[in-house]
């Protein structure tokens, strides 16, 4: 399922940490509409993986050190969710938030438009994709409690991503095989993203994905890599 949102801002300046206030908007919508789903997904201390991701689009943005100056006072957000039932609940919750002022840092936003659409079943085992939001590949060392972030330039990139995918699928109780999964960088660049005041190396651009069609369909709708439900790992299919 795909949910297309358009927000109107009070002014055209937003924080570089925009992912966090968009997630806060989702939380507010769900808490008001379906308290049980909100608790299942976001209750304090709950690290349950989600089956959705999202990407954010700006008009003519100017990126400064701590803020973004937009060409207009509009933000577009595209959500995709592999779990159709949860996607419908999220869509209904968001509809209840239309026209309501939501405060963000030195600004406020209102949901001015929402459109939902069903996504087809992906049946291909080889696709070309373009990242709509940065791809984060994380290796967490339990002994040191340290995180390393790999980009397409790093030798650890593919193997770490494959381990991430296997862990994610197991935790979500799906049975998709990752044995044949492969990712091939085609035209890419490294970027640095911020989330909750933490900087992470990430990858943008065009990749080739190979694997079981069920797995690729899941990744298309749920996202790929780490921090998917915070607005990373979303991609569109080029062919």
Mean pLDDT of all residues in 22-32: 93
Minimum mean pLDDT range among 119-123, 135-139, 173-177, 183-187: 173-177
pLDDT at residue 69 greater than cutoff 80: yes
User: Which domains, from first to last, does the chain contain?
Assistant: 2-117 (3.30.70.1890), 126-237 (3.30.70.1900)
Mean pLDDT of all residues in 215-225: 97
- For 31-51, the pLDDT digits (tens) are 989 888 888 888 765 567 899
DSSP collapsed to 3 states, the chain: CEEEEEEEECCCEEECCHHHHHHHHHHHHHHHHCHHHHHHHHCCCCCCCCCEEEEEEECCCEECCCEEECCCCEEEEEEEECCHHHHHHHHHHHHCCECCCEEECCEEEEEEEEEEECCCCCCCCEEEEEECCCECEEEEECCCCEEEEECCCCCCHHHHHHHHHHHHHHHCCCCCCCCCCEEEEEEEEEEEEEECCEEEEEEEEEEEEECCHHHHHHHHHHCCCCCHHHCCCCEEECC
């Amino acid at each position: 399922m795909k949910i297309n949102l358009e927000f109107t801002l009070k002014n055209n300046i937003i924080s570089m940490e925009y992912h966090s206030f968009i997630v806060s908007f989702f939380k507010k919508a769900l808490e008001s509409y379906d308290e049980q789903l909100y608790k299942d997904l976001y209750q304090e201390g709950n690290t349950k993986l989600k089956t959705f991701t999202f990407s954010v689009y700006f008009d003519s943005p100017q990126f400064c050190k701590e803020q973004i100056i937009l060409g207009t006072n509009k933000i577009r957000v595209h959500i995709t969710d592999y779990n159709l039932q949860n996607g419908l609940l999220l869509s209904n919750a968001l509809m209840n938030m239309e026209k309501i002022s939501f405060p963000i840092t030195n600004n406020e936003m209102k949901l001015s438009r929402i459109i939902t659409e069903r996504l087809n079943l992906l049946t291909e085992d080889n696709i070309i994709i373009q990242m709509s939001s940065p791809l984060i590949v994380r290796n967490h060392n339990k002994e040191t409690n340290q995180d390393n972030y790999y980009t397409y330039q790093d030798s650890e990139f593919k193997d770490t991503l494959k381990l991430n995918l296997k862990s994610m699928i197991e935790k979500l109780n799906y049975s998709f095989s990752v044995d044949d999964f492969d990712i091939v960088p085609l035209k890419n660049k490294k970027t640095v993203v911020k989330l909750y005041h933490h900087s992470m190396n990430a990858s943008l651009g065009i990749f080739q994905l190979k694997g079981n069609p069920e797995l690729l369909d899941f990744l298309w709708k749920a996202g790929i890599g780490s921090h998917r439900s915070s607005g990373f790992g979303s991609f569109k299919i080029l062919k």
